[in-house]
Structure 1
Amino acid sequence: MKKKIIAILLSLSIPFSMISCKESAKNVTTQNNNLASSANESSDKANSSNESNNEVSNVNNNADNKEDIKEANANIYYYDAVNDKIVYINKVIKIEEKMTATALVDELKKSPNSDIAPAISNEINLNSANVDEESSTITLDFSSNFVQAQNLGGGAESSTIKAICNTFGSYFKVDNVIITLDGEPYSSGHILMSEGESFKVDLDNSSPLN
């Protein structure tokens, strides 16, 4: 009788053990799936964060590139030989990498119309430009071929020099312009400047070009 009871109990306990094992296996599988899902979510968040950081980085890089080029308003002066007067045009110029003096020279190499010649020949290079605020002076050092490349007579040379000086004087708000040629004082057959001698900026005797 006891053996029968023991056998019956054993037969009843086996299914419960199997159910318990299956439930444990299901729990382990569910936990593993949850862990995998959490890991995937974390990975997705990390990737999303990296993409956002890359976008911000790209925006910053683009902003830096835009800062390399800026626009500024300037008066560009020329000598009108037909009417024998100094004229100017107001225009927006592009300045790359803070090279303002170079940008002004580039504009002076352009002709405002068919009747007026450029103030500076294309063959001339600007070596350097330095502003001294205390003396209200800007020093422009051009290549030594300046006089030869300009090829101007006495009156035209003086007026063209004035146009150049007015362009830099008005933009940098200085009263004096020293022009040197490869470090030497400006010298031509008509004008002879001494060491440190400057040309005066004269904005009053000029008129806008229509």
Structure 2
Amino acid sequence: MKKITVLFSLLTIGFILSSCRLFKIDDSAVSEAVSSQNQVTDSSKESLKSSETDDSSITESSINSDESKEIVTENQLADYFPETANKEYVYIGEGNEYASYDVFTDYEANNSKQTRTNNGGTEVVKVLDLEENQVVVRIDREETYTRENWLKTKISNKNEEMEILIKSPIKVGTSWEVVGERTRSITAINVSMTTPIGTFNTIEVTTGGTGDKEITYYAPNIGLVKSVFSLNGYNVTSTLSEINETPLMQTIRFYYPESDGKTMSFVDKEVAFKTNNVTRKRIEAAYKEVPNNQVGNVLSKNTKILSLYLNKDGHVYIDFSKELTSEMNAGTAFETLIMQSLVNTIGGYYHTNDVYLTVEGKPYSTGHIQMEKGEPFMVTNKNSHELGK
């Protein structure tokens, strides 16, 4: 899996930044941008046709042309990272099974955004910041399948180097160093690039390393439209094919106690998350939707999840309002099933076996179950089965 994610990071190193503009755009912004970008001249299309036969020729000609170095775009840095809240960017790939992927913005605020990239083999979460003269990747986490808001999280390791995706001024010749002893630079301006959703006037950013090269193309008001990774004459490409207005869908397994007081049933639910949705609130709402009368309630109507997060120690911490216990009308056996259902559900979502559960900051305590401070509940699938089977 580690090899998959390393290659995946190379393929998506220049991915789009959303929600980093200093102003808002309306829902028609994407379609308007596509429409305006489609207005290319015949000569531009002819240039595009030749570029499509050999992606590397675009960069080589750009680097070697003295005239191109004088070209400066009127677009600003933020123009290449438009808002993408509740929009799914879908890329089709060639050359590798992981070259196709989709991207969703989990959170965005104050010129920062947190994206989730899924290539079918793994999910990578990144936090990107729009600074005064550059766009940087502040956090890059592989194999991250849960929604955790890291927009305000600082880099814990002082030696961890932030990666610069784009740097101003937006003109040919702007160059900078990136992680891995690689050089990245703007190598062309006004490059016409055709994708399944339209033709765009783009800037070209080239990253060179030892034996490898990556070229990324960014369009104003859209973001990344194409990337080409080359190694020893072998190319892997990813091209923007769709922009869908849709929430992120995650499958979560919810456990419920059965009326016999001995077993639990589980059901997989598709939970929709819009950009900036609070994870604990969406899970709470989904949990209160009891699938049928064969199982009992886990959370009463008035019970609230006050906090929910995955700690640096790899354990999940969840705190409930007092109604969890005050409105739980259950004997010892049924209460045990309720708590085990909760622990299995939360632990399963966060991929951990230890769940530290409290009620308004205090250890869980009733007449039937007494937990000590710092004592976790443990996930177990014993005596559980799929609902209806």
RMSD between superposed Cα atoms in Å: 2.6
Tell me what 1:64 maps to: 85
Task: Write the distance in 1 (CA, Å) between the matches of 2:323 and 2:29.
Answer: 55
Identity %: 26
Deviation at 1:83, TM superposition (A): 6.6
Deviations along 1:1-49, one digit per CA (max 9) or x if unpaired, are xxxxxxxxxxxxxxxxxxxxxxxxxxxxxxxxxxxxxxxxxxxxxxxxx
For the residue of structure 2 that corresponds to 1:152, the secondary structure is coil
Tell me what 2:177 maps to: none
Deviation at 1:207, TM superposition (A): 0.8
Higher normalized helix content (fraction of residues): 1
Deviations along 1:63-102, one digit per CA (max 9) or x if unpaired, are 3233463110111100112372011001211124252232
Tell me what 2:290 maps to: 111
Task: Write the distance in 2 (CA, Å) between the matches of 1:93 and 1:139.
Answer: 21
Q: How do 1:21-170 residues align onto structure 2 when only pairs under 5 Å count?
A: 55-56=32-33, 60-61=82-83, 63-66=84-87, 67=105, 69-82=247-260, 84-96=262-274, 97-132=276-311, 134=313, 136-170=314-348
2:309 aligned partner, one-letter code: N
C-alpha contact 2:261 2:337 (8 A) present in aligned 1: no
Task: Write the distance in 2 (CA, Å) between the matches of 1:123 and 1:52.
Answer: 40
For the residue of structure 1 that corresponds to 2:86, the secondary structure is helix
Tell me what 1:192 maps to: 370
Runs of 4 or more off by more than 3 Å in structure 1?
51-54, 65-69
Tell me what 1:174 maps to: 352
Task: Write the distance in 1 (CA, Å) between the matches of 2:347 and 2:253.
Answer: 10
Q: For the pair shown, which has the larger CA radius of gyration, 1 or 2?
A: 1
Gaps of 5+ in 2: 1-27, 36-81, 88-104, 107-246
Q: So what's the TM-score if we normalise by structure 2?
A: 0.37
Distance 1:55 1:117, change over 3 A: same
Higher normalized strand content (fraction of residues): 2
Tell me what 1:19 maps to: none
Task: Write the distance in 2 (CA, Å) between the matches of 1:52 and 1:94.
Answer: 24
For the residue of structure 2 that corresponds to 1:150, the secondary structure is coil
Q: So what's the TM-score if we normalise by structure 1?
A: 0.67
For the residue of structure 2 that corresponds to 1:93, the secondary structure is strand
2:293 aligned partner, one-letter code: S
Q: Considering Cα pairs closer than 8 Å and 6+ residues apart, tell me whether 1 or 2 has the greater RCO.
A: 1
Task: Write the distance in 1 (CA, Å) between the matches of 2:326 and 2:377.
Answer: 20
C-alpha contact 1:170 1:203 (8 A) present in aligned 2: no
C-alpha contact 1:104 1:168 (8 A) present in aligned 2: no
For the residue of structure 2 that corresponds to 1:194, the secondary structure is coil
Task: Write the distance in 2 (CA, Å) between the matches of 1:54 and 1:82.
Answer: 55
Deviations along 1:132-190, one digit per CA (max 9) or x if unpaired, are 253x4211111122211122211111111000110011111011111111111111111
C-alpha contact 1:71 1:94 (8 A) present in aligned 2: yes
C-alpha contact 1:82 1:115 (8 A) present in aligned 2: no
